[in-house]
Amino acid sequence: MRPETDLRLKSDCEGRVFGPGPRELLHQVEETGSLSAAATKMGMAYTKALRLVKTAESAFGFKLVERRIGGIGGGGSQLTEEAKAVLERYDSWEREVRKVSEDYFASSFAGLFGYAKVGCVVMASGEAQRFGSQKLLASLAGSPLLAQTLAALPTDLLDVVVSTRWQELADLAHELGFSAALHGDPDQSASMRAGLEALGPRPGVIFVQGDQPLVSSASLRQIARQMALHPRAIVRLAWEGRPSSPVGWPVDLLPMLGALRGDVGGASLLRQRPELLGRVILVEARDQRELLDVDTPEDLARIEELLTSERG
């Protein structure tokens, strides 16, 4: 399954005036040196070929094909300089539109028809200085904090990689059936980059903080759904209109994320390129608690208490 994109130029007065057929006809005139030969090569009547050329010329307001009279090789046809410019620009336009169409088709149909799933990078590289030890291994409801976050990820929709500097976290990810990308750079951008490189080409990527254990599978599914429905959007989980994490990034912005350097993340890109804010879509969390993260032992104790009260 793949997208089929046909581009045509229309005139308000004359309807369709240029498209794949006339474009190919002009290319054949350039190759054969004859409108008649070009029409024959395409299995087209000469009268139809002439009509296509005349229609386009009338709409453009300049000649596309000139007759050559006599000479050693006899008569024939050649493209005008204006026609060559039109072909060059049309071909360039079509090439770029097809590329964008293919990218966004892959985003809209991620995980279907053989297209890759949306990627998911779990950020697990922090120093946890305020916590005092490796917080992602701290026990929460009887299992490591990172395991609680990973359990919420809908793996039927997402291909997940845990990006981390720590071997013990990579080992935990593998034990739980997830891939891990080990790297040695403490910068946030390096963690993002390692995750993107491990995933390879994707129609979009969701970044999840490893210390956000109450994020729900339902919210992540909604983020993925909005990414499919709006392939150019940056999709963020929010509460009462306040954006937070996780964040889904579209395919065309992934190279920009990969190019970031220093201890910065996607928020830095939004500050550098404020026009991107117009592409942000917010997905409201079902519960404010989904946005809670763990920076201190007190944060962990509060989340443990919330989970205990739910079970009780």
Contact yes or no for 153/216 (Cβ under 8 A): no
61: left (phi over 0), alpha (psi -120 to 50) or beta: left
Give tens-digit pLDDT for 227-237: 999 999 999 99
First to last CA, the chain: 50
Report the pLDDT value the prediction gives residue 312, as an integer from 0 to 100: 55
Task: Per-residue pLDDT tens, the chain, 312 aa: give them.
Answer: 778 888 899 887 768 889 999 999 999 999 999 999 999 999 999 999 999 999 999 999 999 999 876 555 556 889 999 999 999 999 999 999 998 898 889 899 998 888 899 999 999 998 878 888 899 999 999 999 999 999 999 999 999 999 999 999 999 999 999 999 999 998 999 999 999 999 999 999 999 999 999 999 999 999 999 999 999 999 999 999 999 999 999 999 999 999 999 999 999 999 999 999 999 999 999 999 999 999 999 999 999 998 887 765
Report the pLDDT value the prediction gives residue 75, as an integer from 0 to 100: 63
Q: Residue holding tokens 């709409």? A: 59
Q: Domain 9-105 belongs to what topology?
A: Arc Repressor Mutant, subunit A (1.10.10)
- Does domain 118-311 fall into CATH 3.40.630.10? no
pTM (predicted TM-score)? 0.82
- Residue 242 CB neighbours (<10 A): 10
Contact yes or no for 265/188 (Cβ under 8 A): yes
223: left (phi over 0), alpha (psi -120 to 50) or beta: alpha
Give tens-digit pLDDT for 100-130: 898 889 899 998 888 899 999 999 998 878 8
253's tokens? 């912005």
Report the pLDDT value the prediction gives residue 237, as an integer from 0 to 100: 98
Sign of CA dihedral 198, 199, 204, 210: negative
Domain definitions of the chain by residue range: 9-105, 118-311
**Upstream peptide bond of 297 is cis (omega within 30 degrees of 0):** no
* Alpha-carbon separation of residue 228 from 158, 220, 249, 270, 286 (angstroms): 12, 12, 11, 21, 20
